[in-house]
Structure 1
Amino acid sequence: MNKDTLEGQWKQLAGKAKVVWGDLTDDELAKINGNAEQLTGLVQEKYGRTREEAEREVKDFFDRNR
């Protein structure tokens, strides 16, 4: 999924992301606007994941929701 597609579909995906990562706020999800790099950073910060774990979680999330 390319960056433009991700950002275009982010409003729908943000709800699904909220289910997966419930500690992320609506404001945080709106601010990142589908940016996988920023989402990875938030997951890493909020959940204490390593960078690699967070990247894998975010990649899996986007792969499942294409």
Structure 2
Amino acid sequence: MNITRSWREQKVMLKQRFTVLNDADFEFIEGQREGMLNRLSQKLQKTKEELHLLFAELQTY
């Protein structure tokens, strides 16, 4: 995946699209990205594959 948007932009776009998300949902310690993905997956009721597709979609806007 070619990343064209900053992480900050992606977070803002996701929070606008999914109003149940907040800043705490995006917190992670270096090397613990999986924990954040698990929280997002659970909160949005999406699989990790669906999350990866969602992040890829954000790159096209």
TM-score, normalization by structure 2: 0.57
Runs (5+) with no aligned partner, structure 2: none
Runs (5+) with no aligned partner, structure 1: none
- Which residue of 18, 31, 37 corresponds with 2:15? 18
Aligned residues: 56
Return the offset for 1:10.
Answer: 0.6
Alignment of 1:1-66 (within 5 A): 1=1, 9-29=6-26, 31-32=27-28, 35=33, 37-47=34-44, 49=45, 53-66=46-59
TM-score, normalization by structure 1: 0.55
RMSD over aligned Cα, in angstroms? 3.0
Contact map agreement 1:32 1:38 (CA 8 A) in 2: yes
Contact map agreement 1:21 1:43 (CA 8 A) in 2: no
Q: Match for 2:42: what amino acid?
A: E
Contact map agreement 2:25 2:40 (CA 8 A) in 1: no
Return the offset for 1:39.
Answer: 4.1
Contact map agreement 1:18 1:24 (CA 8 A) in 2: yes
Q: Which has the higher contact order (CA 8 A, sep 6+)?
A: 2
